[in-house]
Structure 1
């Protein structure tokens, strides 16, 4: 019976096997619940049974997939390879005033790293907390990564303290998100501000510290965002800056491989960090937006539409996960694993999001993004007005038609 199958059939079979294996790997890595995983397994089994009806019985296929799952889980749950020692290794972290940077600086210091932590304000709460809780090994540096002179000074200070030793790790954490509306409503200053911090600032820091990293054959770990790979509504400025950052980091990974420098990117889900969790922050951004919008544009969209967007952003930020440990754990693994991953999904839902984008039709992934993030109830005022006008016109025409029928 095996002779009845042609070469194209076996090629097709191999391609399908790779597809199903990759899909199941993504499912298992997507932090799904047991019930959701079971449904995904059953769905995949039914699909493959239909396609492979002439090759493998469904039960045998299920057994093979089960064995693959057991093997993958055993591999995933097995102890990680012996990590590299933290003692004697120096790490430079940007954006340590709060959030991921602050938490990472404290954890790395406790592990024995020599930490260089940058903050925007040396007298701020975040800087004082690091001084109070960390060891004398930690060095605080006041750096705005959009200012090249401050980056150069930080490089000189770091090089002076390291002496002949290179820099083991660079954690690009500093970032900015000031988007609170549709792309047409977003101020140009928001687009430029996001690009200056998230892309150009990170680019400047990375280029400046690369000689020290190449010397130590060290690691570059960059905190990015799924918004750089997915077109989230109302995040055009932030997403565009992260998309540029993602491409730069992925290119850098290939270029630095001959130098022995490992490059990783962290893609977190929604976490409660910094100003975005503060209601006053969103009120300030909302007020600034209304003051700078042209009257015509504000009339087309409606102030209630803009206000709803602001409220949705604040609600999304307030419901974010306050436990930052998934991101910190991913950073530590990227710094100390003998073979770090190129990409880390940190937090629940991120793996599922990338799975849907990779394996589902565009219409499904597009609808998923719209329903998952900004669940808007209002449409722009001009569209509502137009819809109401069309409705009135339709009713008027129906009344005229009815009157005409009565006259006849």
Structure 2
């Protein structure tokens, strides 16, 4: 019995390996639009797809980021400035994309633009702090996708949404985890709806990677600013030691971040170029071996692990 079970499991992985190695034909004729290409995953993916021979339409928040990317890539890469929080900017970028892809449609849309700050206990934050993150990570993703869906549907292409392991497991306060849970929900419903038209939707759920978004220096600066504006009552509840411990934990955590960003961009590339892409990709060993399994654990066990690894407020019971 166990031998038969092992054989079935082995056959399953063999078939999956074979299916995932099949590549889409005529990649050189296909256009891919990527948001958030100033740095990090977006910039690396644009360069990676350029080397692969695809036509890359790269959206950057700043002209400086766009200029830097153009210097690093061939003339197959075209850039546009895009602020995913502004409807008029998204509409202009969508029109720009349509002018370039024409009747061929848009093969790939990668919603990569994102921010993480502010991260803090929820009580320290205002509604606007949550809105600022949601506008980029969730509502920006939704509006960009809706604007470009006709072009993607025409090509029977791909939508790749960048979520996070924090879209499965909320370990800290602020809008980041909320936004990534939202990206997961949006992507799941979109995947089913677009399957009728031959469009595939994939979710990328990275673990902790060292990018500008996860910089401990930026986190500490943001955290200190939030502490300075909270009420004296909240400061008394949490205490200066909590503040110091929280900032120190950020420095310690950064040392454990994975620096090889290609682990993420390889997943993005596979989602765009494979005949049979996965529904979800979880790049990073911390995602595969810790955070994803942790998301399936009983709540009391997850809580115990989180309490053990995070500072306690001064007046905690």
- 2:55 corresponding residue in structure 1: 114
- 1:242 corresponding residue in structure 2: 180
Q: Does 1:347 align with 2:284?
A: yes
User: Structure 2 vs 1, CA of residues 310 and 278 (structure 1 numbering), >3 Å: closer, same or farther?
Assistant: closer
Q: Does 1:159 align with 2:98?
A: yes
3-state SS, counterpart of residue 59 of structure 2: strand
In angstroms, what is the RMSD of aligned CA positions?
A: 2.0
Q: 1:152, CA displacement in angstroms?
A: 0.8
- 2:257 corresponding residue in structure 1: 320
Counterpart CA distance in 2 for 1:251 and 1:203 is 12
Note if contact 1:89-1:113 (Cα within 8 Å) is conserved in structure 2. yes
Q: Does 1:303 align with 2:244?
A: no
Instruction: Name whichever of 282-291 and 148-157 sits farther off.
Output: 282-291
Note if contact 2:168-2:295 (Cα within 8 Å) is conserved in structure 1. no
Q: Does 1:364 align with 2:301?
A: yes
1:17-36 residue pairs with structure 2 within 5 A?
none
Q: Which one has the largest radius of gyration?
A: 1
- 1:380 corresponding residue in structure 2: 313
Q: 1:319, CA displacement in angstroms?
A: 2.5
User: Structure 2 vs 1, CA of residues 361 and 273 (structure 1 numbering), >3 Å: closer, same or farther?
Assistant: same
Note if contact 1:180-1:310 (Cα within 8 Å) is conserved in structure 2. no
Counterpart CA distance in 1 for 2:16 and 2:164 is 24
Counterpart CA distance in 2 for 1:237 and 1:173 is 17
3-state SS, counterpart of residue 259 of structure 1: coil
- 1:7-65: CA deviation from partner (whole Å, max 9, x where unpaired): xxxxxxxxxxxxxxxxxxxxxxxxxxxxxxxxxxxxxxxxxxxxxxxxxxxxx53x344
Q: 2:167 aligns with which of 224, 228, 244?
A: 228
Note if contact 1:169-1:219 (Cα within 8 Å) is conserved in structure 2. yes
What TM-score does the superposition give when structure 2 sets the normalisation length? Answer: 0.92
User: Structure 2 vs 1, CA of residues 106 and 266 (structure 1 numbering), >3 Å: closer, same or farther?
Assistant: same
Q: 1:75, CA displacement in angstroms?
A: 4.1
Q: Which has the higher contact order (CA 8 A, sep 6+)?
A: 2
Instruction: Name whichever of 73-82 and 187-196 sits farther off.
Output: 73-82
Q: 1:97 aligns with which of 38, 53, 63?
A: 38
Note if contact 1:109-1:135 (Cα within 8 Å) is conserved in structure 2. yes
Q: 1:96, CA displacement in angstroms?
A: 0.6
Counterpart CA distance in 1 for 2:239 and 2:246 is 11
User: Structure 2 vs 1, CA of residues 315 and 333 (structure 1 numbering), >3 Å: closer, same or farther?
Assistant: same
Q: 2:136 aligns with which of 186, 197, 202?
A: 197
Counterpart CA distance in 1 for 2:306 and 2:9 is 29
- 1:256 corresponding residue in structure 2: 194
Counterpart CA distance in 2 for 1:348 and 1:260 is 32
**Structure 2, gaps ≥5 residues long:** none
1:31-42 residue pairs with structure 2 within 5 A?
none
How many residues align structurally?
315
3-state SS, counterpart of residue 381 of structure 1: coil
Q: 1:97, CA displacement in angstroms?
A: 0.8
- 1:64-123: CA deviation from partner (whole Å, max 9, x where unpaired): 444345434544555844201321100000001111101100001111111111111112
Q: 1:356, CA displacement in angstroms?
A: 4.2
3-state SS, counterpart of residue 105 of structure 2: coil
Counterpart CA distance in 2 for 1:162 and 1:323 is 32
Note if contact 1:221-1:263 (Cα within 8 Å) is conserved in structure 2. yes
